[in-house]
Amino acid sequence: MLINNYSRLSIPQTWYLGWGRIATVTGATWYSEHIALFVDSTNSVSPLVFSPSERFVIIDEVWLSNHQSLSQLQDYDPSLPFSDLQWVALAWEHWFAETFTKLMGIFSLAVWDREEQTLWLGRDPTGARSLYYTTSDTTRWIAPNLRSLNPYHAQELDMVALRDYLCCAFVPGTHTLWEGVREIRPGTIVSFPDEKIQSYWQLQEGNSSKKGGYPQQLRNLLEQIVTEYLPPEREPVGVFLSGGLDSSCITALAAKLHPAPVHTFSIHFGENCPNELEFSSLVAQHCNTNHHILEITFRQMWDKLPETMGWLDDPIGDPLTVPNLLIGRLAKESVEVVLNGEGGDPCFGGPKNQPMLLNQLYGTATQQDSLQAYLLAFKKCASDLPYLLKPEIWEAVRHQPYFFSEELNSTASYLNRLMALNIKFKGADHILTKVNNLTRGAGIQGRSPLFDQRIVELSMEIPPEYKLAGVQEKAVLKQAVADLLPEQILHRPKSGMMVPVQLGFKKYWQRKARALLLNRKARIAPYLNQELIRQWFNYRGDTWGRYGVKLWLLVSLEIWLQVNSK
């Protein structure tokens, strides 16, 4: 029997927009000819403002970090309180679609030009917030979260997206797991009615002629951005602190720059599981933060997975999804804004690049080998696809191109190619959407300073040898913050937060997971070979101890499909 009723989970949906031939506007917050806005009743802040001339209707929940540069607009009245959305409306009067190039922050904008009857959709450059739209029928439905569009598309899966999820644990590129729904890429604008797609920001390898000074340049920029990301001076701020370099340097900068209390939050999975509390506690003590430690049980990991999948857009098969939601709720007890260290690895050459660098040095040089090596570096199900997918599905997708191919085979330096892949795809389609959605689920604002557009641009200007100096990872970042952190943190090898899913499936979740994945009525049954999954439950041939990760990937997928069923 399926563990069901997940589709009845109550997850607020912010807003969604209908454009085209709209059959009904019942319940619309605002509507005009050819367009209607619907806002969830639980939304406390209106996502809609009019520009000063009322020609443009601006829709989003936007957070901007660069008010100072926008305050130079001639229509700005410093005596009036301006929301971030009002800043965007004022800017649009001056720059029209060029406004996208002027904004720094987190946004997924919809702008209706009442005079030209044109709809503009655009997303921030690094992809901190998502934006989706349907591609069929005469009405297009648009929303910043995928679940809001469930009533307006068929329940057919996109087979390429399914293949890619099994490889990566997220869905990369413009595809979503639903056929007929597309995601707008970061730094991209889509306009209707012509449905023209154009990039307003490109991630490019820089041609810096400088011969040094990068650590100080990075430090100056980090201090500027962390200052912008902090809440008002009297409000406390939180930091998710693992004890690794990235979250530790954000903690140290917040403690240095913010006059109000800094709260840090760390997790572990019980005394019998490895943890990094030694390092996170060291940083918390060094920076004099109010430190909070959360123990997450195996029962919580299983019981909270349906709600976690409800808050996500496409499924994410990362075992840290549930911990992210739970630690966010702990943080909510103390703060409204929480920072994190996400972005250090993709921007500055972290250890996840090593398998690919070794393949480049010692492997063959064909494009296909590079692609396969990149897919295998995720350590998910790439090598299992011919057996895991049903034969007819594998035959349909095996020769379909991957979104990674163009970037992987560009002319940029090899390390920068890998970094660009991780920023554009793992960053936007996994890390940032997870942070944004799950902190929202916890009722707090999550901000990622190391994924700021300006940090990303600087990271691509810095020559590769400053980022990966021999075997020293993230060398330039370590130099930039060397005076802020203990030696043990600067020079410890990165281990990553290891969620004990292997133990979870062997000892705690076996019966429930079998009932979920091996049921004939499971949502994955038409697509996947359940006999192979049965072998994974028996741990046959699990030489490298990876079956737990693969099973979590599939459990996340199955529950996501049930949560999103009509």
Per-residue model confidence (pLDDT) at position 5: 60
Give 276: exposed, middle or buried? Use CB within 10 Å, 0-12, 13-18, 19+: buried
Can the peptide bond before residue 193 be classed as cis, meaning omega within 30 degrees of 0? yes
Claim: this prediction has a pTM higher than 0.75 = yes
DSSP lists the bridge partners of residue 37 as 17, 30
- Phi, psi of 83, rounded to the nearest 5 degrees: -80, 165
Secondary structure element (H or E) that encloses residue 132, with its range: strand 132-134
CB 36 within 8 A of CB 17: yes
Helix, strand or coil for residue 463? coil
Rounded distance between C-alpha atoms, residue 129 and residue 200, angstroms: 16
- Phi, psi of 133, rounded to the nearest 5 degrees: -150, 150
Amino acid letter, 95: W
Per-residue model confidence (pLDDT) at position 244: 93
Per the structure block, which two tokens stand in for 112?
């209706």
Rounded distance between C-alpha atoms, residue 41 and residue 18, angstroms: 17
Amino acid letter, 515: A
Rounded distance between C-alpha atoms, residue 519 and residue 540, angstroms: 20
- Phi, psi of 222, rounded to the nearest 5 degrees: -60, -45
Per-residue model confidence (pLDDT) at position 1: 36
* CA 219 to chain centroid: 25
14-199 adopts what CATH topology?
A: Glutamine Phosphoribosylpyrophosphate, subunit 1, domain 1 (3.60.20)
Rounded distance between C-alpha atoms, residue 30 and residue 532, angstroms: 51
Per-residue model confidence (pLDDT) at position 207: 67
CB 415 within 8 A of CB 459: no
DSSP lists the bridge partners of residue 105 as 64
**CATH number attached to the domain at 214-349+414-490:** 3.40.50.620
Q: What angle do CA 310, 312, 316 make, to 5 degrees?
A: 115
Indicate the DSSP class of residue 424.
I
Per the structure block, which two tokens stand in for 560?
């996501």
- Phi, psi of 413, rounded to the nearest 5 degrees: -55, 150
The end-to-end CA distance of the chain, in Å, is 18
Per-residue model confidence (pLDDT) at position 3: 47
Per-residue model confidence (pLDDT) at position 471: 61
Neighbours of 422 (CB within 10 A): 21
Rounded distance between C-alpha atoms, residue 14 and residue 199, angstroms: 26
Domain extents in the chain: 14-199, 214-349+414-490, 500-566
Rounded distance between C-alpha atoms, residue 454 and residue 452, angstroms: 5
Q: Helix axis angle, 547-563 relative to 159-168, nearest 10°?
A: 140
Q: Going from the first residue of the chain to its last (566 residues), give the mean pLDDT of each consecutive group of 10, the final group possibly shorter.
A: 57 88 83 90 81 94 80 63 84 92 94 96 95 91 94 94 98 96 97 95 76 90 97 97 96 98 97 92 98 97 96 96 98 98 87 60 57 88 97 96 87 84 92 94 96 94 80 87 96 75 95 96 97 92 88 98 88
Rounded distance between C-alpha atoms, residue 106 and residue 113, angstroms: 22
- The widest CA-to-CA distance across the chain, in whole angstroms, is 70
Sheet holding 30-32, edge to edge: 30-32, 35-39, 15-20, 139-143, 132-134, 181-183
Indicate the DSSP class of residue 163.
H
Per the structure block, which two tokens stand in for 360?
């480049």
CA distances from 303 to 272, 306, 307, 453, 513 (A): 21, 7, 8, 36, 12
CB 430 within 8 A of CB 169: yes
Per the structure block, which two tokens stand in for 191?
């306009």
Helix, strand or coil for residue 49? strand
Helix, strand, coil % in the chain, rounded to nearest 5:
45, 15, 40
Rounded distance between C-alpha atoms, residue 130 and residue 14, angstroms: 12
Q: For residue 229, give the nearest of 479, 483, 451 by alpha carbon.
A: 451
Sheet holding 337-339, edge to edge: 290-295, 262-268, 237-240, 337-339, 445-447
